[in-house]
Amino acid sequence: MSIFVDENTKVIYQGLTGSQGSYYGRLNREYGTQVVAGTHPTKAGTEVDGVPVYANVGEAVAATGATASCIFIPAPGVRAAVMEAAEGGVEFIVAITEGVPAHDEAWFFNKLRADFPAVRLLGPNCPGIISPGKCNIGITAGHIAKAGGPVGIVSRSGTLTYQALYELKQKDIGVTTCVGIGGDPVPGTSFIDCLEAFEADPETKAVMMIGEIGGSAEEEAAEYIKNHMTKPVSSYIAGVTAPPGKKMGHAGAIVSGGKGTAQAKMEALESAGARVGHNPTEAGELMAEIVAAL
């Protein structure tokens, strides 16, 4: 099985008429994803390569039965777009956009939790989600992912999401679902959310987790792994050589007061029973050893 999305997921692209939205909307549809609609308040009634455009998400859901939405619009509009999707009736929102203000992220994270608890948000500032051979929502290149399980992947880093998929494909290891949660300070979906879903998925037999410096998400995930995971985990933490106090890449990747270092995260994961690689390739090799022993 896969988590969160599968071949039956119908997706609306908010921003389908824009350059990035139309480019990735086409790629995702060519991959096999059911891209059933786009939205734009002034372009309702038009089409993008045969995909109908509606004025808003609510109208698109009513016409197509879509259950997911992918947001490809500029950062200032993401807050409104997230709420339009939730109010329009979708259950899963993928926000690709980077540069969303942190106060907007905090606002709609808490708004969704309070008013739309059944709606899951992935992102913002994430590569999206791919269940290989079934559904690809976002910007991940489908050809680097091998279908068929037995490994689930969750990653904070977009680039390392792609490398994790490719490392496993090179070893002929399939993936059930790969989730890029994004590296912003207030992600809609956490490591623990994904670990919990992978633990419950009968076809996912092991999990690869990619983290980075900053914050405490990886240490919290380690605690979850220690207390709740029965499936083996391999991991890699980016940022071992990052200078203290420096922000490296993502808005959430900042170390302060001696907290959030790569070394501390690696130690927490190792103490929880995860096998930790010192680079992405080593993490892939560790997962290959885990899969061979299943």
**pLDDT at 256 exceeding the cut of 60:** no
Q: How far apart are CA 34 and CA 53, in angstroms?
A: 15
What order of strands is seen across the sheet that includes strand 275-277? 135-138, 128-131, 174-180, 150-155, 206-212, 233-238, 275-277
Q: How far apart are CA 181 and CA 96, in angstroms?
A: 10
Q: State yes or no: is 250 an active-site residue.
A: yes
Q: How far apart are CA 8 and CA 50, in angstroms?
A: 19
Task: Name the token pair of 127.
Answer: 């590569």
Mind listing the pLDDT tens digit for each residue in 74-105? Answer: 999 999 999 999 999 999 999 999 999 999 99
Mind listing the pLDDT tens digit for each residue in 99-125? Answer: 999 999 999 999 999 999 999 999 999
The pLDDT value recorded for residue 197 is: 98
Looking up tokens 């399980």, which residue turns up?
149
- With contact defined as beta carbons under 8 Å apart, do 292 and 267 qualify? no
- Residue-range domains of the chain with CATH: 10-122 (3.40.50.720), 141-293 (3.40.50.261)
The answer, as to whether pTM is greater than 0.75, is yes
Three-state secondary structure string covering 60-109:
HHHHHCCCEEEECCCHHHHHHHHHHHHHHCCCEEEECCCCCCHHHHHHHH
What is the pLDDT confidence band of residue 260, given thresholds at 50, 70 and 90?
A: confident
Q: How far apart are CA 68 and CA 218, in angstroms?
A: 27
The continuous run of DSSP H or E covering 40 comes out as: none
Mind listing the pLDDT tens digit for each residue in 23-63? Answer: 999 999 999 999 999 999 999 999 999 999 999 999 999 99
What is the pLDDT confidence band of residue 1, given thresholds at 50, 70 and 90?
A: confident
What is the pLDDT confidence band of residue 240, given thresholds at 50, 70 and 90?
A: confident
**pLDDT at 255 exceeding the cut of 60:** no
The pLDDT value recorded for residue 250 is: 53
The pLDDT value recorded for residue 6 is: 97
Catalytic residue among 40, 103, 143, 250: 250
What is the pLDDT confidence band of residue 186, given thresholds at 50, 70 and 90?
A: very high
- With contact defined as beta carbons under 8 Å apart, do 48 and 73 qualify? no
**pLDDT at 211 exceeding the cut of 80:** yes
Q: What average pLDDT does range 241-260 have in this prediction?
A: 55
- DSSP helix/strand/coil, 134: coil
